[in-house]
Amino acid sequence: MMKNLKPNVCVIGGGAAGFFGALQLAEKIKSKANIVLLEKSKEPLGKVKISGGGRCNVTHNLFDIEELIKKYPRGSKELKYAFQKFQPKDTITWFQKRNVALKAEEDGRMFPTTDSSSTIINCFLSETQKQEINLLLGTGVRSIFLNPDSKEERFVLSIDNDTEIKCACILIATGSSKKVWNWLTSLGHTIEPPVPSLFTFSIPNSRYSNLPGISVPKAEVRLLPKGKPQSGPLLITHWGFSGPAILKLSAFEAKNLAESDYKAKIGINWIGDFQTNELFSYFTNLRKDNPSKLIGSISLHPFPSRLFQMFLSNANIPLDKRLAETSNDELSQLSKEITAGEFDMDGKSTFKDEFVTCGGVKRKEINFEKMESKIIPGMFFAGEVIDIDGITGGFNFQNAWTTSTIASIGIDKYLT
């Protein structure tokens, strides 16, 4: 296989970015290089398999690049250029051309119409075979040596079976591998320290934990005292809070939360569109118009009655009090409880549908027009190995598809 006049191009890592990169490379450089895809485990695409709860949230139904980049707490500036070359629309077309139809859910997340990640895996495996990519499974790369005197064999990879592969260039798509980040550091790259992103919040003894499963559609959550608010649906869990608003906050505050060892004060506005004074005015008008109504019987959209009654008891207002009997202090307390609740976070829990690492190869050390290292020419990067991560919703895979496509363009140029 290697005894061929064409140079080798090695893709290290058989995950989302590695497979997509190898396939994009095959379209461009098959006539001038052998593409070798090395994956350390026997089964490739492990994360794709479990992604999106086994359904694989491939991308997001969001095509406006200015809006799209806002979904990346780290890397939005750099991805702006990259998305002009390959964005969710291109992902949909790429899969469509290979007979994989994607569908969008109401919240914009896109899945294969089969609702099964095997559809994506089977597509990648059959395309890899069709394109005659040399897929080496159970073949981890142990280290990389540079051979600067040769363009065609510039990189020497030492692999698991004690042999070597020489290649003209490499695409590193190893995800969040500490070992690989250590090699890259020894080769001169800087690694932004990895910390988890996309997790739920543990709030021991939260005053809402006896309402697990109840959610509100548009809450605003932030780190107190001065964090930037994130909005979206909020879900009460047995152990604290989850839902898109919390996952977004976990992503945008990933570094701050890691530094505080996941102990922080969290502010929640359960009815994101209203401020405390607006809600207070609403309640005082309600009191004027419905003096004899019991406060516990009010229905306040969009809250389920059990949740509204919990707001009342947390504001120390008896449910059987008539509105006329409530004081301004009580209504103010209730408005605060709903719009400015304070909670003590103490720890995090895993969100099973998606998880990602923030941190990785410093973006300033990569030329995003080609995804090539500015430090080691001929070394390209794609996916989670880079210090880029998105919020939940298909944005992390989109990063893998986009950066690996740009890397394939860069490698094509490098070889000519």
Nearest CA among 197, 188, 113 for reference residue 379: 188
| Contact call for residues 325 and 292 (beta carbons, < 8 A) | no
Q: Does 112 bind ligand FAD (CB under 6 A)?
A: no
Binds ligand FAD by CB under 6 A, chosen from 23, 123, 144, 400:
400
| Three-state secondary-structure class, residue 53 | helix
Which residue number, 173 or 254, has a Cβ lying nearer to ligand FAD? Answer: 173
Q: Using CA atoms, how far apart are residues 413 and 18, in angstroms rounded to an integer?
A: 19
Q: Select the span of 263-271, 288-296, 304-312, 383-391 touching ligand FAD (CB under 6 A).
A: 383-391
For position 141 contacting ligand FAD by CB under 6 A, the verdict is: yes
Number of residues that bind ligand FAD (CB under 6 A): 37
Stretch of residues binding ligand FAD (CB under 6 A), selected from 42-50, 242-250, 294-302, 406-414: 42-50
Stretch that binds ligand FAD, among 37-45, 92-100, 207-215, 294-302 (CB under 6 A): 37-45
Task: Give the sign of the dihedral formed by CA 242, CA 73, CA 389, CA 100.
Answer: positive
Figure out which of the listed residues 18, 112, 360, 410 binds ligand FAD, where binding follows CB under 6 A: 18
| CB-count burial class (<10 Å; 0-12, 13-18, 19+) for 5 | exposed
Preceding amide of 302 cis, omega within 30: yes
> Restricting to residues 307-326, which ones interact with ligand FAD according to CB under 6 A?
none
Contact with ligand FAD (CB under 6 A) among 7, 75, 112, 175: 175
Nearer to ligand FAD, 136 or 268 (CB): 136
* Residues 339-378 close enough to bind ligand FAD by CB under 6 A: 353-356
Task: Based on the shown chain and the rule CB under 6 A, indicate whether residue 13 belongs to the binding site for ligand FAD.
Answer: yes
Q: Is 290 exposed, middle or buried (0-12, 13-18, 19+ CB in 10 A)?
A: middle
248-256, 287-295, 359-367, 395-403 -> range binding ligand FAD (CB under 6 A):
395-403
**H helix runs in 171-230, sequence order:** 178-186
CA dihedral 18, 20, 24, 30 (to 10 degrees): 50
Among 128, 177, 335, 339, binds ligand FAD (CB under 6 A): 177
DSSP string of 25-41, one letter each residue: HHHHHTTT-EEEEE-SS
Nearer to ligand FAD, 356 or 379 (CB): 356
**Which string of b and e fits 369-383 if b means at least 16 CB within 10 Å?**
ebbbbeebebbbbbb
Mask for 53-82, x = binds ligand FAD (CB under 6 A): ---xx-------------------------
Nearest to ligand FAD of 119, 177 (CB atom): 177
Q: Determine the residue with CB nearest ligand FAD.
A: 15
In DSSP notation, 177-190 reads -HHHHHHHHHTT--
Choice from 173, 191, 266, 323 touching ligand FAD (CB under 6 A):
173
The 243-272 contact track toward ligand FAD, x by CB under 6 A, reads: ------------------------------
Among the residue ranges 34-42, 75-83, 162-170, 263-271, the one whose residues contact ligand FAD (CB under 6 A): 34-42
Q: Token digits for 237?
A: 């869990």
Q: Which two tokens stand for residue 381?
A: 């990067």
CA 116 to chain centre: 19
Q: Which residues of 244-258 are buried (b: 16+ CB within 10 A; e: fewer)?
A: bbbbbbbbbbbbebb
Contact stretch for ligand FAD (CB under 6 A) within 9-17, 260-268, 312-320, 340-348? 9-17
Amino acid at 316: N
Q: Which of 33, 39, 287, 372 binds ligand FAD (CB under 6 A)?
A: 39
Stretch near ligand FAD under the rule CB under 6 A, chosen from 79-87, 167-175, 238-246, 338-346 = 167-175
Three-state DSSP state, 172: strand
Residue with tokens 């570094």: 255
Q: Which is nearer to ligand FAD, 107 or 278 (CB)?
A: 107
Rounded distance, CA 322 to CA 280, Å? 16
Site membership for ligand FAD, residue 194 (CB under 6 A): no
Q: Which stretch binds ligand FAD (CB under 6 A): 122-130, 204-212, 390-398, 407-415?
A: 390-398
Residue ranges that bind ligand FAD, judged by CB under 6 A: 12-18, 38-41, 46-47, 50-52, 56-57, 140-141, 173-175, 177, 180, 353-356, 383-385, 394-397, 400
